[in-house]
Amino acid sequence: MSETAELRVGDKTLELNVIEGSEGEKAIDITKLRAQTGYITLDPGYANSGSCQSAITFIDGEEGILRYRGIPIEELSAQSNFMEVCYLLIHGKLPTETELSDYEDTIRRHTMLHEDFKQMFSALPKDAHPMAACSTMVGALSTFYPDSLDPRDPEEVEISANRLIAKLPTLAAYAYNHSIGMPFLYPQNDLDYVGNFLRMMFGNPCEDFEVDPVVRNALDLLFILHAEHEQNCSTSTTRLVGSSMVNLFGTISAAINALWGPLHGGANQSVIEMLEAIHEEGTSPRDYLERAKSGDESARLMGFGHRVYKNFDPRAKVIKKACDDVLERMGIHSPLLEIAKELEEITLKDDYFVERKLYPNVDFYSGVIYNAIGTPANMFTAMFAIGRLPGWIAQWKELHSDPAFKIGRPRQVYTGPTKTAYTPMDQR
């Protein structure tokens, strides 16, 4: 017999079904709660609320486990590549050799942008944040592709998904080039996905660009590690916006904005800015830590803490090692990496952080790698967005194929004034 839970509200007792996931996670199904009792649940920040059932990503925050479609992140980062991970997430299985090469060819064929995008970029101020530029331009894609906006048409969805995966690196590179006054390079489709992006970012039309394999592999790894993370802020945004039946471009534009915030993907930029400030001001990591503990919001230890991981973030482990490798192979000595390591070491022994289960998250070391490969800080979150895109698309597709699909519409507990008569202007 399947498990149930009982809830007593006033003089009513309600029997609620317990849903069990494939890894033994349990949830109390409250879908009939309001209809049967008139009550709702209240859960600010949704820390205890499941919004969907999903077969894409499994996370165990206590054990530090992360798996995409069942495959551990450690195995994917050691053996796979970003294009394969895109396929895995979006199509639900690892591709055969032919499927992967067909997929790569398709993505390559869509990397170019409509020529009018150049004018759109030139209309943006030079100091526009790349995340603002990316979300604007991704939203604008919907105006260029009215032929593929129907969320109910699988072919239109597939072509939109391919266009997004192919074009976001081009848009992100153009956002950067616009900010520094460099000409835009057309994609060069004999390069692979990451190599192409690096050339569009850092190349110029006057010289050949050679893709550094160390940099290429480091970025590919970062994209894999960022590719999906179940119902975080930007992914929940994807599901909520997508549930209104708006097209995929409009949805992803909203997700990019959600990712931009410093408490979410924007933390990677904040981490490097924090490390630079510590370095430039000559503050000791210990002193900075004390400020972070005092509750001074301007000194929050960026890159530490996670809503789900309460032991360690498995992505941070992989990145920390990659960070050491990349810097060593590039022959870079980074004082920022030294500060990061010292901060990590003292933090992990500090009662404040231990009691609150605050560990380095994915963003703590990723910024050091981005920095070492020559990426300006304001581009870090745009790189994160390129990585997270297949996860958003996979979640959007799953939402639309869910038999329990409904527009997302949370409730609230109203705490404002009770019925109040309108006061005419001359009596106020």
Residues that bind ligand ACO (CB under 6 A): 45, 232, 263-265, 267, 292, 300-307, 356, 358, 361-363
Tokens 């000194």 appear where?
Answer: 299
* Nearer residue to ligand ACO within complex by CB, 160 or 381: 381
Tokens 């759109």 appear where?
Answer: 120
CA of residue 250 relative to chain centroid, distance = 16
* Nearer residue to ligand ACO within complex by CB, 26 or 307: 307
User: Minimum distance from CB of 389 to ligand ACO (Å)?
Assistant: 14
User: Minimum distance from CB of 225 to ligand ACO (Å)?
Assistant: 10
CA 392, 396, 401, 403 torsion: positive or negative?
positive
* Nearer residue to ligand ACO within complex by CB, 107 or 222: 222
In the three-class reduction of DSSP (H, G, I as helix; E, B as strand; rest coil), residue 388 is classed as helix
Q: How far apart are CA 388 and CA 256, in angstroms?
A: 9
Q: How far apart are CA 5 and CA 2, in angstroms?
A: 10
In the annotation, is 363 catalytic? yes
Q: How far apart are CA 43 and CA 47, in angstroms?
A: 7
User: Minimum distance from CB of 303 to ligand ACO (Å)?
Assistant: 5
The strand order across the sheet containing 12-20 reads 4-9, 12-20, 26-28
Structure tokens at 412: 């609230």
CA distances from 356 to 24, 61, 309 (A): 26, 14, 11
- Which residue's C-beta sits nearest to ligand ACO? 305
* Nearer residue to ligand ACO within complex by CB, 350 or 398: 350
User: Minimum distance from CB of 410 to ligand ACO (Å)?
Assistant: 18
* Nearer residue to ligand ACO within complex by CB, 242 or 303: 303
User: Minimum distance from CB of 123 to ligand ACO (Å)?
Assistant: 31
CA distances from 149 to 153, 234, 299 (A): 8, 21, 44
Answer yes or no: are the C-beta atoms of 198 and 211 closer than 8 Å.
yes
* Nearer residue to ligand ACO within complex by CB, 163 or 320: 320
Q: Which of 363, 400, 402, 426 is catalytic?
A: 363
Q: Which of 192, 306, 313, 350 is catalytic?
A: 306
In the annotation, is 402 catalytic? no
User: Minimum distance from CB of 232 to ligand ACO (Å)?
Assistant: 6
* Nearer residue to ligand ACO within complex by CB, 199 or 306: 306
User: Minimum distance from CB of 166 to ligand ACO (Å)?
Assistant: 24
Instruction: List the catalytic residues.
Output: 306, 363
